[in-house]
């Protein structure tokens, strides 16, 4: 059994760890509220914009969507992997990284796949398996639509120039603080809803459907990427808050076990001292 000094040192160390994990939990909880409000307010707009674009595209010919709707034979694929810049958030980052590796080996086994990393953790690990063409970890330092729009425009230009035949996004979708769902979304080319039509509606389009679609596509793509990053950002803080809560609980449980061990060892030491004193007294009497 460890001596009393070693146990006391371990109890002190665990207490310090508990203070750190508890503080990190509170910080993430505060950031989560703001991030959750942002993605909750944005989702209806982003989903409606995408639905409108797909609905209009379904009623037009193949060339109406321009280069962004061009269906090509897939030989080179770009995966946008969205992770975080920091760890201590459970399986948040590893779930995206594992899904990227699995999805690539299953779906694009014979294709050439590059990674566009958004987040330091994803870049550091995926660069060992793939060719990472870019790492935009700094976007989380100032997460605004304009900054994300620049990233989206860069990816759109790569697709239009023919550098890639398909672009997909892999990220964690925020459900609640304890649950994040890994999502795979097609970014380019634009998907159409087969069989969807506006023939039963009485809309008047000015200047016309094709012009509206061409105007909406860049905005919709930028919004889609911004929503995915916002989702991932909220998921990160939810995952970290949950992970730090569990870490604090585990540390408290370990501390209680060590306190019990310490008290037992201390009681045993006191009992031994009493027995030695009594034994000494008896020896003096005889």
For the annotated catalytic residues, the residue numbers are 89
205: its two tokens: 């389009």
| Centroid of chain to Cα 255 | 31
SS3 content of the chain, % helix, strand, coil (to 5): 65, 15, 25
Alpha carbon separation from 23 to 152, 240, 241 (Å, rounded): 35, 11, 10
Residue 108, helix vs strand vs coil:
coil
Rounded to whole angstroms, the Cα distance separating 42 from 109 reads: 35
Q: Specify the DSSP element, H or E, that contains 169.
A: strand 166-176
| Centroid of chain to Cα 68 | 27
Angle between helices 209-285 and 145-160 (to 10 degrees): 120
Angle between helices 92-107 and 209-285 (to 10 degrees): 130
Helices (H) and strands (E) in the chain — how many of each? 5, 5
Phi, psi of 145 (to 5 degrees): -60, -40
């Amino acid at each position: 059994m460890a001596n009393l000094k070693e146990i006391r040192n371990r109890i002190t160390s665990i207490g310090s760890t508990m203070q750190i994990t508890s503080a990190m939990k509170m910080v993430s909880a505060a950031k989560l509220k703001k991030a959750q409000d942002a993605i909750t307010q944005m989702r209806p707009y982003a989903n409606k914009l995408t639905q409108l674009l797909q609905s209009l595209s379904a009623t037009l010919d193949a060339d109406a969507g321009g280069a962004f709707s061009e269906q090509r034979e897939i030989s080179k694929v770009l995966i946008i992997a969205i992770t975080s810049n920091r760890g201590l958030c459970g399986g948040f980052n590893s779930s995206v990284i594992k899904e990227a590796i699995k999805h690539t080996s299953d779906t694009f086994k014979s294709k050439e796949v590059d990674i566009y990393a958004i987040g330091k953790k994803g870049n550091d690990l995926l660069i060992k398996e793939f060719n990472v063409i870019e790492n935009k970890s700094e976007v989380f330092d100032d997460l605004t639509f304009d900054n994300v729009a620049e990233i989206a425009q860069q990816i759109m230009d790569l697709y239009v120039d023919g550098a890639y035949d398909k672009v997909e996004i892999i990220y964690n979708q925020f459900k609640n603080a304890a649950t994040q769902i890994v999502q795979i979304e097609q970014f380019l080319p634009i998907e159409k809803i087969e069989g969807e039509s506006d023939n039963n509606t009485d809309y008047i389009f000015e200047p016309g459907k094709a012009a509206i679609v061409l105007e909406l596509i860049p905005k919709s793509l930028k919004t889609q990427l911004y929503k995915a990053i916002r989702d991932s950002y909220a998921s990160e803080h939810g995952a970290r808050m949950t992970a730090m809560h569990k870490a604090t609980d585990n540390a408290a449980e370990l501390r209680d076990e060590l306190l019990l061990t310490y008290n037992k060892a201390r009681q045993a030491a006191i009992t031994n001292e009493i027995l030695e004193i009594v034994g000494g007294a008896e020896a003096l009497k005889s």
